[in-house]
Amino acid sequence: MAYDLSKISISNLLGPAFNAAVALTRLDERIARSPVGVTGIINERYVVGMTWEQVLQARLIGTAIMIPSGRPYGMWRDLMMRRARANAFSHWSWDSIALLSFQTPIYASIIFLSGATGLALILGTATAALMMICLGRPYGMFLLLIRRAFRVETTVGAVASS
């Protein structure tokens, strides 16, 4: 099948990519105003001591990395949640372990690439790790809500219910 490119407008060709970029920008703006985004900014600016330019760089790198790492994290979380027992403490613990073990190395890389070094890198990573322990279960519950809304099954074959 051959296409006559002269009959395809540039706006039809590039429109979806532009709309996706606008949607990602709006999502990043919402995340920046959310408590999670704000805590990351506070951590980077005041614990790590990064300049505002470095904070912006970290936020942009983070946005670019988090989109393709979403599915692998979902699979990792499913694997970790298989270990959870049928009680709230176990679910909280395993959700936190999943988030901590997957996202901490990524976050450390992001702030390193944005200029954090030495003790600032260690303190920033440790502070983020503490936040991840606290936010692991709420984030896991949010992911389940999204999976249910879009009827996505877990990678272990069960319907999203952890």
Residues in contact with 77: Cβ distance below 8 Å, sequence separation at least 6, in sequence order = 95, 98, 99, 102, 140, 143
- For 19-59, the pLDDT digits (tens) are 666 665 665 556 555 555 677 888 899 899 999 999 999 99
- For 71-123, the pLDDT digits (tens) are 899 899 999 999 989 888 899 999 999 999 999 999 999 999 999 999 999 99
Per-residue confidence (pLDDT) for residue 157, from 0 to 100: 46
What is the crossing angle of helices 118-149 and 88-113, to 10°?
A: 130
> pTM above the 0.85 mark?
no
